[in-house]
Amino acid sequence: MLRLGQHEFGAHEPVIMAIVNRTPDSFYDQGATFRDEPALARVEQAVSEGAMIVDIGGVKAGPGEEVTAEEEARRTVGFVAEVRRRFPDVIISVDTWRHEVGDAVCEVGADLLNDAWGGVDPKLAEVAARHKVGLVCTHAGGAEPRTRPHRVTYEDVMADILDVTVGYAERAVALGVPRESVLIDPGHDFGKNTRHSLEATRRLPEMVDTGWPVLVSLSNKDFVGETLDKPVKERVIGTLATTAVSAWLGAQVYRVHEVAETRQVLDMVASIAGHRPPAVARRGLA
């Protein structure tokens, strides 16, 4: 069972996490939700389309202008408080690697800390434990935040992913983070080249077999773009294909830009797998 905020999810219940960037230079939406009102409209749309989680980030993942902890907090803390006020039932996640920001957003209502940089700040897990919120434990290959991989190698990429994410998850629980609120993430693109991310995808069952819920962040990423030789704005089909494969292989939480399309993919896979009945069943019965 996965428990986040006020919600519990069964083992075969896929969950959508909608991306809400509070940055002026995000790689996909180019700052479309940097201002409050467009960002709140994005939350409302995502929830209406089937997202149970909104993931709020104040710093773009890639290189760019320096963003201090103070500026990251300015972009996220007040917004988290307003989302909590307007959408009391939504699960609020914050994408941060800094314990200072994590502490501040938890104070105003965040339910989950999404550490995409793999525990580079060990105090972030302590913050999650103190506030009894969830934690995403990601593999980033030891990369420093906001850096791109360069000639990175692994003897066995999935072995490294398992060692890092399971170790991080076990440490988090030992610190006091609720076990049912911890997820592991292979970290597509983070500290990896395209072949590494493709291998991590096809070997997802090894992560699922650990018993920790698996989150995948696939949406419009470079490994999709390089695999198909497509620019950022033409990666949706590749993303959805990867989403379908990941769902079939057992991933549970999906961090996405396109919520409605992802919902249809996940529902279709769940129905094929026998975990969800068709929405309607009239054919051959009239």
Question: Is 114:96 a contact under the CB 8 Å cutoff?
Answer: yes
Tokens 């980033």 belong to 140
Q: What residues pair up with 8 in beta bridges, in sequence order?
A: 3
Question: Is 113:102 a contact under the CB 8 Å cutoff?
Answer: yes
Tokens 């996965």 belong to 2
Tokens at 282, concatenated: 């009239």
Q: How far apart are CA 14 and CA 272, in angstroms?
A: 14
Question: Is 23:202 a contact under the CB 8 Å cutoff?
Answer: no
Instruction: Find the DSSP H helices in the chain.
Output: 36-48, 69-86, 99-107, 123-131, 157-175, 194-202, 204-208, 222-228, 236-249, 259-273
Question: Is 81:108 a contact under the CB 8 Å cutoff?
Answer: yes
Is 221 a known active-site residue? yes
Strand, coil or helix: 3: strand
Task: Identify the active-site residue in 75, 192, 221, 235.
Answer: 221
Instruction: Find the DSSP H helices in 87-156.
Output: 99-107, 123-131
Is 255 a known active-site residue? yes
CA-nearest of 40, 138, 164 to 90 is 40
Task: Identify the active-site residue in 130, 255, 276, 283.
Answer: 255
Active site residues: 221, 255
